[in-house]
Amino acid sequence: MKKVTVTKAAATKLLAGSGTKKLIIECRDSENSIARLINYMGEIGNGGHSFGIIVDPDMKEYTKNFGWDGDGSDSIISISEINEETGKPNKLEFDDEGNVKRG
């Protein structure tokens, strides 16, 4: 099981009233789909693009829409994976296709 740490920052600390927030997601993610999704949200949103994130649009009873305020206070600062041996975070790097680079 992997632990992925995601940090979310307010673009304007004065307006938002808070600095950054760290979220820890413990998951099984053999293809790094969650990390890749969060990285992609940052790629398109950090530059000032707001958008909706739709989960399961084909199944009406499960569909949910989440907003991302890219031109406001939402941004992805970094994505880290917790090293199971040391318990310390390792910042993830992504290639041009959005895949996690491995050492």
Q: What span, in angstroms and rounded, lies between the C-alpha atoms of 46 and 13?
A: 15
CB 46 within 8 A of CB 74: no
Q: Please indicate, yes or no, if residue 102 is contained in any of the structural domains.
A: no
pLDDT in tens, the chain (103 residues): 565 555 544 334 434 445 678 888 889 998 999 999 999 999 999 888 899 999 999 999 999 999 988 887 888 888 999 988 999 999 999 999 898 987 6
- Domain count of the chain? 1
**Is 72 among the domain residues?**
yes
Given a contact cutoff of 8 angstroms between Cβ atoms, the answer to whether 16 and 10 are in contact is: yes
Question: Does 100 map to a domain?
Answer: no
**Assigned domain for 45 exists:** yes
State which residues form the domain around 21: 2-91
Tell me if 97 is assigned to some domain. no
- The answer to whether residue 103 is domain-embedded is no
Pairing of strands 76-82, 64-68: unpaired
In a domain, 14, yes or no: yes
